[in-house]
Amino acid sequence: MSHAASSLVVLFDIDGTLVTCHGAGRVAIVEAFAEVTGGREALEGIAFAGMTDRAIVRAGLATGSWSRGGADDEALIDEVLARYLMHLPRALSDKAPRVFPGAVTLVQHVSGRPDTAVGLGTGNIAAGAKHKLLAAGLWQRFAFGGFGSDREDRAALLEVGAQRGAAHLSRPRRETKVVIVGDTPKDVRAAQAIGARCLAVASPHYPFEALRDAGADLTVSDLADPDALAFFD
Ligand SMILES: [Mg+2]
């Protein structure tokens, strides 16, 4: 990657990339959804990975008819997300998030790169991202981000993060390169949609081949792989 002389914005996904919260996010959103709609099973068949929080709630609403509202009821979605934030700290406190191997070293490495802004690019609403990363001890490492509370579409929220990163560098967005670090094909495709490169980290859910085939510029089995560091040189 010939980034040596160019401004760079790096956006890290949270769940499955930096940390696992052991399903705490799912527990909290299922509880919130059940309280607001009465539907406890609606989210069961939905794979949350790579989805924004708002899209998850909307998908749950689309699975059935509730006593209140449907998939286009924005106020109802807001209510579920507000309750989700009430449940999330307790769900996180049941078991501390685990930071994945190599994640801290990579963030430190990239943060030390000249003319580089390091932020988040995540489908989590911003307040939820803060809860998760505070619990993991990582929140202070990120100065800005694009969040699920900024845009429901993943590519659009990454673009928001890219613009904030460019502002952080006092550079025009068009003069910055962007790298997305993520763990799902959705991350890879959203990166491509905004003209960013993508470093993908494989998992049992989304193995090496799936990420490579989606078009990731580099796929690693974990972030401790030296190739992950070298990707930013
Ligand atoms: Mg993820």
Distance in Å, CA 67 to ligand 1 centroid: 32
Query: What whole-number distance in Å separates Cα of residue 60 and Cα of residue 122?
Result: 20
% pLDDT > 70, the chain: 96
- Provide the pLDDT confidence category of residue 41 given band limits of 50, 70 and 90: confident
Question: pLDDT, tens digit, for every residue of 87-143?
Answer: 999 999 988 899 999 999 999 999 999 999 999 999 999 999 999 999 999 999 999
Surrounding residues of ion ligand 1, Cβ less than 5 A: 13, 15-16, 183
Distance in Å, CA 166 to ligand 1 centroid: 23
Residue with tokens 């790298």: 179
Give residue 97's region: left, alpha or beta (phi > 0; psi -120 to 50): beta
Selection from 17, 206, 220, 202 nearest residue 107 by Cα: 17
Query: What whole-number distance in Å separates Cα of residue 69 and Cα of residue 48?
Result: 22
pLDDT above 50 (res 4): no
Using alpha carbons only, give the angle 131, 87, 74 rounded to the nearest 5 degrees: 95
Alpha helices in 47-184 (DSSP H): 53-62, 74-94, 103-111, 126-136, 154-168
Distance in Å, CA 182 to ligand 1 centroid: 6
Q: Is the domain defined by 7-21+97-230 classed in CATH 3.20.80.10? A: no
pLDDT above 60 (res 9): yes
pTM, 2 dp: 0.94
Give the domain ranges of the chain: 7-21+97-230, 24-94
